[in-house]
Structure 1
């Protein structure tokens, strides 16, 4: 016998309490569970504030986007392509730009929107979880979001992903508030507020589409044609808004073929539908990866057994099975956005990978929480249930604690600011600073944000015109004219970053020779033509100081070629 549609039960419940807001289910956790819930919420807030105030250096991806925010005005952000192949919702760009104007161009101002989005998402997820889940399931769903290192990281990252996570939570809150309110004012408000979310998040269209399709299908199944027409009002507004945003902003600045190729080669972000077996393996692999990022459910360990994926994966499975039996429409509501994102990935239109999936975290955590609820309901031992809850919260709590105690373990740790400020502190009149291409975004940002006192010479991006390391160096010779008359040379480079934005990965092959990390061939040339004075590095961020000769550097052709090691 099919499960009764849950919307009728919810409507009756709403009528009983006189509101569509989930107040009745808020009492579905006991005082002890409430105390633990408040504890994990407080810890989640403190961890976000700690990393925000710690103010780590911008990572490469943050630099790519925020160089644009400092050099473009509001009109240019809306009407011109962003440098470094960057894409972000216009609402995010304008708000982040406003923060920079109000609070200055440094990292905290540009991370403020992400922090506020992360905090709003955390607070807003509590009533959402209490609506869909009961008991310890609420604590687990909220606790993983609060303590999970991916959500914490993106809450202090100057990119749009925390805002997209927040948009998902807000879309769910709007669903709770409006889906059983058929009045025209409520439907219009739902449509307007959902449309507003689309200005701040590309990915929320998957969530809104999932909500709209599920409600429309349910109304059609019940032959409630008036309700179907009513649901078409907010749904139509969302489609129209998405179409306008696409036409005005996205379609004008479509990515080159490089970006999908980069995501395919570097991140395996798209399934290969031409090979069904490979596609099936890809799906299994991505499913396991989701436990780590964006959910944060795997313990940081080289031992797969110790990662504890064997705990969370079955609980997710239990959640799916029992939602299918007890609340099919809820299951469709929570998993249809995942299916839509997979379809977009199969079409090569959306990368199914880590940060791009952060918006799915609240949906999947509700499924996980429902699995915990089922176990709690069917297992009489409070010790067993407590052990399960502990094992589920252990990986996110442990990972985040380690990263707070040692911020160098934080995801995407960067030291570009420290390196550039080191050069700035030791730079002297008569010095010249030569910045390799992979440190150019860092220089551009920190020059503006921290008012560096030196003007650097940018290394030309010459690899695509070169046939070898030696030929590459010959193409860089014109850069060295700027060294004439200078006493010392600072060479700044990143020994790890090989992939220039816009260039196809692993091409040309000579450039990706493992014997020559970025900067090596230039260091060998400078070592042969000058005198090395000092070397400073933090992780892969490096600078070498050379004493320049009184005469111009000898051309490459008069020196032996690079030594192979």
Structure 2
């Protein structure tokens, strides 16, 4: 049965991949960097305040160099990372719990997780973060299990390379380091001491990466300010109510990523507690799965790394592993007691996740391609296009695919009016004349098809100037208009 859920999730994810949704604002900004920069230029700070691991950028650059610069080519790496992670989470749970039931359940819940499915086709590093963290933990556990030169070699190589593939790998390495120190203090085994070699190599790799690419990065102050305003850091005062409210919200946020529900996260917490209590004598299980969460919270406290949904996505497999263990432990207990409802515990998270994924996949966010296709069909050579500022990156990425648009020379690049005073908005209006198209995406909308405040402002003021809408096409998260007098 569990194999069926995993199989269905793979089919669903492939359907999601083949939907070829439009790039979002952040995806488009990063994609333009990958396309427009050489390998050497990717070693420099990226344009448009983008940040991504060098290894991720290089692999993406290789893919588009070989296969072409389509959006689906850029999505291959994240999508393959998702598929491989399904196998890795099974391997992780087999190593930790030695139970195929727990391993299969964890793989099934993970593969059906809507957030994981969503980010599996996003041109960002979050899906590869999951893959890298799982691979790093498994290589460590394999070494502890086999304690031979081959496993030590693989663990060392993965520790070194992971730093260049994922920004969160240092969190996993630090967590493994803490566990290694604990194990050596407790057991005094030579094999545990040898495990410090890959950690030292990984730390050396991080020091090189830090000096070359992180230290004095031009986006650092901006990022700290942005994530601080977003509440992604814990308050400094540990004795304040704000600190514990913020801590609660972050724990709640993490648990909500599993079942993607505002109400069911407490059930997930219950099964995690069951798994911890049942595994108290197996410190490897508890520490390996919990330490990265605690370390990330610590980094959030010192404002070194934000605690936000997409940035903690790599923790989801670890949390799912504990939840799956709690469910199977409870199921086995109820089976022994001849209580027949045990199977419902297994089916509940699977059916819930399947329902959410089925309702929301394929994922749509900002379908600017549909707006541009409509405009390309109806545009005249003498028309002008006004591109709203948050639509510019995606417009630039896709422009070459639409001949009528690509041939047009008269393009007005919009400036942001969101949150600006009236005088700024009037200046923006004064730039518009004649017959022109307006393209919008990444707007401040209540719903994906609702008129945003930005659109409403333009429409209202243009109508007072004698303009009327000749063409309008509203798509999911994007709209295009043609105004004529």
The answer for the alignment partner of 2:277 in structure 1 is 321
Find 1:116's aligned residue among 60, 74, 80: 80
Q: 1:467 to 1:66 in 2, by over 3 A?
A: closer
The answer for the alignment partner of 1:459 in structure 2 is 413
The answer for the alignment partner of 2:448 in structure 1 is none
1:88 counterpart SS class: coil
1:531-542 paired onto structure 2 within 5 Å: 531-532=467-468, 533-542=470-479
Find 2:125's aligned residue among 157, 160, 170: 160
The answer for the alignment partner of 1:561 in structure 2 is none
Q: CA deviation at 1:350?
A: 1.1
Pick which of 233-242 and 256-265 moved more: 256-265
The answer for the alignment partner of 2:252 in structure 1 is 288
The answer for the alignment partner of 1:432 in structure 2 is 384
The answer for the alignment partner of 1:393 in structure 2 is 350
C-alpha contact 1:494 1:519 (8 A) present in aligned 2: no
**Separation in 1, partners of 2:214, 2:349:** 39
1:20-63 deviation digits (Å, cap 9, x = unpaired): xxxxxxxxxxxxxxxx2321221121111110011111122212
Q: 1:217 to 1:38 in 2, by over 3 A?
A: same
C-alpha contact 2:55 2:164 (8 A) present in aligned 1: yes
C-alpha contact 2:156 2:197 (8 A) present in aligned 1: yes
Q: 1:546 to 1:419 in 2, by over 3 A?
A: same
C-alpha contact 1:298 1:395 (8 A) present in aligned 2: no
Q: 1:130 to 1:185 in 2, by over 3 A?
A: closer
TM normalised by structure 1 equals 0.78
1:389-429 deviation digits (Å, cap 9, x = unpaired): 1112222111012124xx3xx3x622111112211221111
1:473 counterpart SS class: helix
C-alpha contact 2:133 2:169 (8 A) present in aligned 1: yes
The answer for the alignment partner of 2:437 in structure 1 is 490
Q: CA deviation at 1:540?
A: 4.1
The answer for the alignment partner of 2:463 in structure 1 is 527
Query: Does residue 1:332 correspond to 2:297, yes or no?
Result: no
**Separation in 1, partners of 2:204, 2:401:** 39
TM normalised by structure 2 equals 0.90
Aligned residues: 473
Find 2:210's aligned residue among 241, 246, 251: 246
1:21-420 paired onto structure 2 within 5 Å: 36-79=1-44, 81-133=45-97, 134=99, 136-184=101-149, 186-224=151-189, 226-227=190-191, 229-251=193-215, 253-266=217-230, 268-274=231-237, 276-293=240-257, 295=258, 297-299=259-261, 307-323=263-279, 325-379=280-334, 380=336, 381=338, 383-404=340-361, 407=362, 410=363, 413-420=365-372
Q: CA RMSD in A?
A: 2.5
Q: 1:472 to 1:166 in 2, by over 3 A?
A: same
Q: Which runs of 5+ in 1 are unaligned?
A: 1-35, 499-514, 549-565
Q: 1:74 to 1:373 in 2, by over 3 A?
A: same
| Higher Cα radius of gyration | 1
Q: 1:229 to 1:449 in 2, by over 3 A?
A: farther
Q: CA deviation at 1:262?
A: 2.3
**Separation in 1, partners of 2:283, 2:349:** 25
1:74 counterpart SS class: coil
**Separation in 1, partners of 2:466, 2:23:** 32
Q: CA deviation at 1:543?
A: 2.3
**Separation in 1, partners of 2:441, 2:344:** 45
